[in-house]
């Protein structure tokens, strides 16, 4: 494994799911962490869970749909830790719905958290890293962003946007020595996937996903994916023509329901 190039981390979406387990994994490996999310009680639980780790965990509550509050949270995290080496943005929400129950309000909420919430985090952290020409950013998207999937029109659209955004930003960030990684998980056992009413292939425990995430952060890969087998299956589907893709997904999702 490569030498770790970060010691101070700000994890947005660090109170539950992958963000929670990654924060604990980082602290166990000696990284000092500030976690942010909306729920102060959930943040306090993670701080308590990591109390015995070599690295420290502190918290700053934030609603990432508020750009000014997100910039303030970054300033608070910097005041707590000093220079932030690693910024991970994984705050997300998910409500499955299809054409019959299509909702502007639900779609907007998912966009506000998943896409614009990530934009607000980057707006807070990226200028500082660009100015000092160092730093590490990891944006959590999903393999659901590879192609359209049933009941995921809003969630998948936000994740596809994050993939495209990171591919675009990488060109500029490479020039100023800021490392950008895109994280595309498959199914991980979290409060979000608890909304699914179908069998989820290769479902990972959140702590196992966090260990894979940490190993990816230590690598020079642009994209971090886990579980690997499912990610490669989704990459294959991305290459299929529509005439093959739609019938295959109809059959497979019917079999999984």
Catalytic residues: 155
174-211 per-residue burial string, b: 16 or more CB within 10 A, e: under 16? eeeebbbbbbbbbbbbbebbeeeeeeeeeebebeebbb
d(CA 13, CA 241): 35
Q: Per the structure block, which two tokens stand in for 65?
A: 């749909």
Sequence length of the chain is 257
The 3-state secondary structure of the chain reads: CCCCCCCEEEEECCCCHHHHHHHHHHHHCCCEEEEECCCHHHHHHHHHHCCCCCCCEEECCCCCCCHHHHHHHHHHHHHHHCCCCEEEECCCCCCCECCCCCCHHHHHHHHHHHHHHHHHHHHHHHHHHHHHCCCEEEEECCHHHCCCCCCEHHHHHHHHHHHHHHHHHHHHHHHCCCEEEEEEECCECCCCHHHCCCCCCCCECHHHHHHHHHHHHCCCCCEEEECHHHHHHHHHHHHCCHHHHHHHHHHHHHHHC
């Amino acid at each position: 494994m490569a030498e770790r190039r970060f010691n101070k981390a700000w994890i947005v979406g660090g109170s539950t799911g992958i963000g929670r387990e990654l924060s604990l994994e980082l602290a166990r490996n000696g990284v000092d962490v500030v976690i942010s999310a909306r729920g102060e009680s959930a943040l306090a639980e993670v701080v308590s869970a990591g109390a015995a780790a070599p690295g420290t965990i502190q918290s700053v509550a934030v609603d990432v749909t508020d750009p000014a509050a997100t910039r303030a949270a970054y300033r608070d995290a910097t005041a707590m830790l000093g220079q932030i080496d690693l910024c991970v943005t994984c705050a997300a929400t998910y409500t499955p719905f299809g054409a019959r129950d299509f909702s502007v309000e639900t779609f907007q909420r998912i966009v506000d958290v998943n896409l614009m919430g990530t934009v607000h985090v980057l707006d807070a952290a990226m200028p500082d890293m660009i100015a000092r020409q160092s730093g590490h950013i990891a944006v959590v998207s999903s393999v659901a962003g590879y192609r359209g999937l049933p009941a995921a029109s809003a969630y998948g659209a936000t994740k596809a946007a994050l993939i495209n955004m990171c591919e675009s930003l990488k060109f500029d960030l490479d020039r100023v020595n800021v490392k950008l990684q895109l994280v595309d998980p498959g199914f991980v056992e979290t409060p979000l996937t608890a909304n699914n009413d179908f069998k989820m292939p290769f479902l990972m425990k959140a702590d196992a996903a966090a260990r894979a995430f940490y190993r990816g952060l230590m690598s020079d890969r642009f994209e971090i994916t886990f579980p690997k087998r499912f990610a490669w299956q989704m990459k294959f589907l991305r290459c299929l023509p529509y005439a093959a893709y739609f019938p295959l997904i109809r059959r497979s999702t019917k079999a999984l329901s």
